[in-house]
Structure 1
């Protein structure tokens, strides 16, 4: 029984860490584009 709970927790953790890294990657991507635009304008 406890083993099943750990598997569920691991699945939730994996999904959370995946979505978190996707959000962080998206923010970095947008910041990179903004920085590129600024460096082109100057």
Structure 2
């Protein structure tokens, strides 16, 4: 049985959740939004 193009999926645990930056301190990546402190 061949794998059709309509049911391709990444292996479990392969994908990462999209990082939503700049959404407050509780998000873990607020304030400088992952850009550091310089400049």
TM bucket, shorter chain: under 0.3
Higher helix share: 1
TM-score with structure 2 setting the length: 0.24
Greater RCO structure (CA 8 Å; 6+ sep): 2
TM-score with structure 1 setting the length: 0.24
